[in-house]
Amino acid sequence: MIDNVRNNNSRGGILIVVDGVFSMEGDIVDLPPLVKIAKKYGARVMVDDAHSIGVLGATGAGTAEHFGLTDEVDITMGTFSKSFASLGGFIAADAKVIDYVKHTARSLIFSASIPPSNAAAVLAALDILESEPERRERLWKNARRMQKEFRDLGFNVGNSATPIVPIVVGDDLDAFAFWKELFDNGVFTNPVISPAVPPGQAMIRTSYTANHTDEQLDRVVEVMAKVGRAKGLIS
């Protein structure tokens, strides 16, 4: 199989599919070497930008824009359920690819399309994304602040480079106990256990928006420090 891929003598084409931003750990895919490998072996590249659209890139267009590789990514897909605050999703590619998807994708055949109200919400969100870049700036300010605050406190935030900032706890039960204590102190996070992360690397996933105020983030840092110390995660 690997040899087939290396030599590109498999019967079909080769499609490399990656996340732009990894949803649990908040790290960004290292796209440039991947695009290089794809070129070398005649493969196409598809990026799942569910967590990148509206976040990465000078205009929020996603991972390919972030790396200046817009022309090198063959298929970009995203969801409307995150930065667009709606439901549904999109796929962007050459017309030929879109035509193929339209006529073969399970989700487009004998299934209802998204309601017009959802599509309208997405279009409105897109307008805001384009016309109010200060929101993205604020989002990044919040993200960078929280990455730094947690690192300075001594938490393990892995390779987080986006507004998704995890705190690695390790044991599943410890992660749930940490989550509960944070919740009881007024801070909502997501507990993440295997298989969403490798066994033994359970974590608390925190994520930030442009609308979080400095005061709210002050409170999060204060509670994290208090609960983190009580749980022995930081000293």
Ligand X SMILES: Cc1ncc(COP(=O)(O)O)c(C=O)c1O
Would you tell me which residues interact with ligand X (CB under 6 A)? 19, 23, 48, 50-51, 79, 81, 89
Taking the complex as a whole, the smallest distance from the CB of residue 22 to ligand X amounts, in Å, to 8
Residues contacting residue 232 through CB under 8 Å, at least 6 positions apart: none
Q: Which is nearer to ligand X, 73 or 224 (CB)?
A: 73
Taking the complex as a whole, the smallest distance from the CB of residue 21 to ligand X amounts, in Å, to 8
Taking the complex as a whole, the smallest distance from the CB of residue 95 to ligand X amounts, in Å, to 23
Residues marked as catalytic: 23, 51, 82
Q: Which is nearer to ligand X, 70 or 79 (CB)?
A: 79
> In 10-132, which residue ranges form alpha helices assigned H by DSSP?
31-40, 63-67, 95-104, 116-131
Q: Which is nearer to ligand X, 197 or 224 (CB)?
A: 197
Given a contact cutoff of 8 angstroms between Cβ atoms, the answer to whether 225 and 234 are in contact is yes
Q: List b or e across 187-218, with b for residues whose CB sees 16 or more CB atoms inside 10 angstroms.
A: bebebbbeeebeeebbbbbbbbebebeeeebe
Q: Which is nearer to ligand X, 165 or 227 (CB)?
A: 165
Q: Are strands 15-19 and 44-48 parallel, antiparallel or unpaired?
A: parallel
Distance CA 184, CA 166 (A): 19
Taking the complex as a whole, the smallest distance from the CB of residue 78 to ligand X amounts, in Å, to 8
CA atoms within 13 A on the CB side of 34: 21
Tokens matching residue 204: 């608390």
